[in-house]
Chain A
Amino acid sequence: MNALWWTLAWRNLWRNKRRTVITAGSAFFAVFFAVVMQSVTYGVFGKMIEDMARLSTGHVQVQDSLYLAEPTPDHSLELDAARLLEAQKIDGAMAVMPRLEAIVLASSGDRSTPVQVIGIEPAAEDSVNRFTERIRTGGQYFGEPRADLPEAVVGAALGDQLGLSPGDTLFTIGQGYHGVPAYGRFRVAGLLELGNPELSKRLVYVQLADAQHAFRMEGRVTGVVCMADPAADLEDVQAELAALFPNQAARLWSDLMPDLEQTLEGKLAGNYIILFILYLIIGFGLFSTVLMMMSERQKEFGILISVGTGRRTLAAMVYLEVALLGLLGVGLGSLAVWPFLEYFDANPVQLRGDLRELHEQYGLEPILPVMIEPFIFFNQAAVVLGMALTVGLYPLRVLKRLDILKASRS
């Protein structure tokens, strides 16, 4: 094999422009479709994880190692400002937020109900969850912290249940660190519209410092929640957090939301089937074009062999042609699909109707996301190219058995 063969193969391709265009086009569209499909799939799954992570657990969360089995304030960890700052500097960490969560009894007037108190850093959480946009009119998000009157932002459904309005007082009674009684008195700053009715009925947000004081665990938190950059490798972030908190456990969202992971895994499995069928269709399309190409050029092959071109040589040349067609199509396809996806990344398809409403209710973006990652392109290109190269083997078989006389007369 040498440069001559390649040149010949290339020129052969362009002898019949239309056929070349069509066959390469086959490969082109194959890659195009496959990449778009995978891109949308990963985009949607990624967003599902992202949305769920933002609503509750974060992408990675540092907890005391016993907390997962028994989520009580006793299983908390120490956190000082310096370590928090270090955590925020981690490559790939978009936001790092400390939280103190505990289940207590909330009471107002003569009504009481169990609730989940979450001590947060208001600014950090707001940047991730956009709470300020979801405060019911008449109330507000946290103002300046005041030692004499700690504020609470209460789930709207909970507020309704207890008959709370901004300005009312909410009492919390529970157990803090080491079983000490933990009492809190808070002024309701506002009611928060949380899409999920269960959360709305249960959550009370307060300032972290106030929670730490109420539960008598100054300097301690129950979780350090990390939201990662979209492009970050979660396991890397996890490893870095684990290194920063050596005596605790850095848990991935999948550890904290196994249900979601299972659901997605199930869907991914289904996706493989779909991909498989797509490849079947594409593969067959490629095969059929090559098949027809062979039958069309029978005469030409017959003549070439009869004037002395070795069958093997001819076979190699034809194979090269198919390979080139594949490369051409795959290469162009990959190049073309990229700006196409970039466009939809910048201008995503908007969700409609009920689904849109639901997303907005939860504070989630109502779009159809695409994921643009090199691995998607490489994988699909590799598969399609592989198919082309395999399909290219068929001509070899044909040529081996070509009946010269019959061919020349076709």
Chain B
Amino acid sequence: MNVNPASRLVLLLLLLAQVLTLSAQTAREYLERAEEAMRGSELRAEMTMTIVRPTWEREMSLTSWALGADRAMMVITAPARDAGTVFLKRDREVWNWVPQLERVIKMPPSMMAQSWMGTDFSNDDLVRESSVLRDYIHAIVGEEDVMGRPCAVIELTPLPDAPVVWGKVRMWVDRTDFLQLKVESYDEFGDLVQTLETLEIGELGGRTLPVAVQVVPADEPGHRTEMRYDALDFSPNLDEGFFTVSQMQDL
């Protein structure tokens, strides 16, 4: 059940909206701009995650801060029992602050194999080092409409030695706003493993972007994880010093 989403691609998605000009025609240029945007960007978001399974459902609210691609902090705000739990990512290390125990734990590899909080996201994905630009070959393979918007269909093929588990990734990127509306990830056999799709496009933080997305594993009927952004701030004025272990405890 531990499926790897492209959570890096999720971040990408959030920040792709920063790409404003429309002169980029090639796939590479699309993604280059996106990566560029990501590197210098910062973000504060409030979101709600819903985990849906055939026999149960769970909801979680959290607030997150991100600086570039290497710094991120997340605190759970609901439900009450888990509220106050903080996750910190610096480069490739992850820490966890547990208020009930009043302890900071650094996550060892063994724990990272588990899914993040029971979602379809994996902890390990937070630390795996891979770059959409560097590790893939990109090509635009077509045009398609998604949610009524014309999109470029970009196919990404990972380089043989890249530390990427996918055999192939397909992205639908909106031509107007450069929104990543859908991502399909395939294994090396060419089978679809998971789909990241947009449920709703809206305006938050002064930008138009997908405000609700969901990750759906291909082989597990009734499983999905939904993410909905309640608030977004694209200039929260963060600095490196915010992303520290001691800061975790003060949140």
| Chain A residues with a Cβ under 8 A of chain B | 105, 107, 112, 114, 171, 173-175, 178-181, 183, 185
Point out the residues of chain A lying under 8 angstroms from B85, CB to CB.
181
Contact B117–A173 (Cβ < 8 Å): no
Contact A112–B105 (Cβ < 8 Å): yes
With contacts A105-B111, A114-B110, A173-B111 taken as known, whether A185 is within 8 angstroms of B100 at the C-beta atoms is yes
With contacts A107-B103, A173-B105 taken as known, whether A178 is within 8 angstroms of B111 at the C-beta atoms is no
Contact A105–B110 (Cβ < 8 Å): yes
Across the two chains, which residue of chain A brings its CB closest to B79? Answer: A180
Query: Residues of B within 8 Å of A, CB-based: how many?
Result: 21
Contact B101–A171 (Cβ < 8 Å): yes
Contact B115–A181 (Cβ < 8 Å): no
A175 CA / B119 CA spacing, docked (Å): 11
Closest Cβ–Cβ distance, residue B2 to chain A (whole Å):
10
Contact B114–A175 (Cβ < 8 Å): yes
Question: Is B75 an interface residue, CB under 8 A from the partner?
Answer: no
19 more CB-based (< 8 A) A-B contacts, given A105-B111, A180-B117: A105-B108, A112-B105, A112-B108, A114-B108, A114-B111, A171-B101, A171-B105, A173-B101, A175-B114, A175-B117, A175-B118, A178-B51, A178-B56, A178-B118, A179-B117, A179-B119, A180-B118, A181-B85, A181-B98
Point out the residues of chain B lying under 8 angstroms from A174, CB to CB.
111, 114
Across the two chains, which residue of chain B brings its CB closest to A176? Answer: B118
Contact A171–B103 (Cβ < 8 Å): yes
Contact A173–B56 (Cβ < 8 Å): no
Closest Cβ–Cβ distance, residue B67 to chain A (whole Å):
25
Please, what's the 1-or-0 string for B76-120, where 1 marks a CB less than 8 Å from any CB in chain A?
Answer: 000000100100000000001010110101101011001101110
Other-chain contact of B101, A175, A178, A180, A183 (Cβ < 8 Å)? A183
Question: Is B128 an interface residue, CB under 8 A from the partner?
Answer: no
Closest Cβ–Cβ distance, residue A276 to chain B (whole Å):
51
Point out the residues of chain B lying under 8 angstroms from A112, CB to CB.
105-106, 108
A178 CA / B119 CA spacing, docked (Å): 9
Closest Cβ–Cβ distance, residue A142 to chain B (whole Å):
21
| Chain B residues with a Cβ under 8 A of chain A | 51, 53, 56, 58, 82, 85, 96, 98, 100-101, 103, 105-106, 108, 110-111, 114-115, 117-119
The A contact surface, by secondary structure, is strand
Point out the residues of chain B lying under 8 angstroms from A180, CB to CB.
58, 82, 117-118
Across the two chains, which residue of chain B brings its CB closest to A184? Answer: B101
Point out the residues of chain A lying under 8 angstroms from B105, CB to CB.
105, 107, 112, 171, 173
A-B residue pairs, 6 tightest by C-beta:
A179-B118, A114-B110, A171-B101, A183-B100, A183-B98, A183-B101
The B contact surface, by secondary structure, is mixed
A178 CA / B82 CA spacing, docked (Å): 14
A290 CA / B108 CA spacing, docked (Å): 77
Contact A181–B58 (Cβ < 8 Å): no
Point out the residues of chain A lying under 8 angstroms from B58, CB to CB.
178-180
Contact B96–A173 (Cβ < 8 Å): yes
Closest Cβ–Cβ distance, residue A72 to chain B (whole Å):
9
Point out the residues of chain B lying under 8 angstroms from A178, CB to CB.
51, 53, 56, 58, 118
Contact A181–B114 (Cβ < 8 Å): no
Point out the residues of chain A lying under 8 angstroms from B106, CB to CB.
112
A382 CA / B115 CA spacing, docked (Å): 62
Point out the residues of chain B lying under 8 angstroms from A181, CB to CB.
82, 85, 98, 117
Across the two chains, which residue of chain A brings its CB closest to B99? Answer: A183
Point out the residues of chain B lying under 8 angstroms from A107, CB to CB.
103, 105
Closest Cβ–Cβ distance, residue A182 to chain B (whole Å):
10
Closest Cβ–Cβ distance, residue B246 to chain A (whole Å):
16
User: What would 19 A/B residue contacts be, using CB atoms closer than 8 Å?
Assistant: A107-B105, A112-B106, A171-B101, A173-B101, A173-B105, A174-B111, A175-B114, A175-B117, A175-B118, A178-B53, A179-B58, A179-B117, A179-B119, A180-B58, A180-B117, A181-B82, A181-B85, A183-B101, A185-B101
Closest Cβ–Cβ distance, residue A237 to chain B (whole Å):
30
Closest Cβ–Cβ distance, residue B53 to chain A (whole Å):
7
Point out the residues of chain A lying under 8 angstroms from B108, CB to CB.
105, 112, 114
A328 CA / B100 CA spacing, docked (Å): 78
Point out the residues of chain A lying under 8 angstroms from B96, CB to CB.
173
Closest Cβ–Cβ distance, residue B236 to chain A (whole Å):
26
Point out the residues of chain B lying under 8 angstroms from A175, CB to CB.
114-115, 117-118
Point out the residues of chain A lying under 8 angstroms from B98, CB to CB.
171, 173, 181, 183
Closest Cβ–Cβ distance, residue A379 to chain B (whole Å):
50
A173 CA / B87 CA spacing, docked (Å): 13
Point out the residues of chain A lying under 8 angstroms from B119, CB to CB.
179
Point out the residues of chain B lying under 8 angstroms from A114, CB to CB.
108, 110-111
Closest Cβ–Cβ distance, residue A225 to chain B (whole Å):
25
Across the two chains, which residue of chain B brings its CB closest to A107? Answer: B105
Across the two chains, which residue of chain B brings its CB closest to A169? Answer: B101
Candidate in B56, B106, B114 with the most chain A CB atoms within 10 angstroms: B114
Point out the residues of chain B lying under 8 angstroms from A179, CB to CB.
51, 58, 115, 117-119
Across the two chains, which residue of chain B brings its CB closest to A179? Answer: B118
Closest Cβ–Cβ distance, residue A105 to chain B (whole Å):
5
Point out the residues of chain A lying under 8 angstroms from B118, CB to CB.
175, 178-180
A384 CA / B241 CA spacing, docked (Å): 88
A127 CA / B103 CA spacing, docked (Å): 36
Point out the residues of chain A lying under 8 angstroms from B53, CB to CB.
178
Closest Cβ–Cβ distance, residue B33 to chain A (whole Å):
36
A181 CA / B99 CA spacing, docked (Å): 12
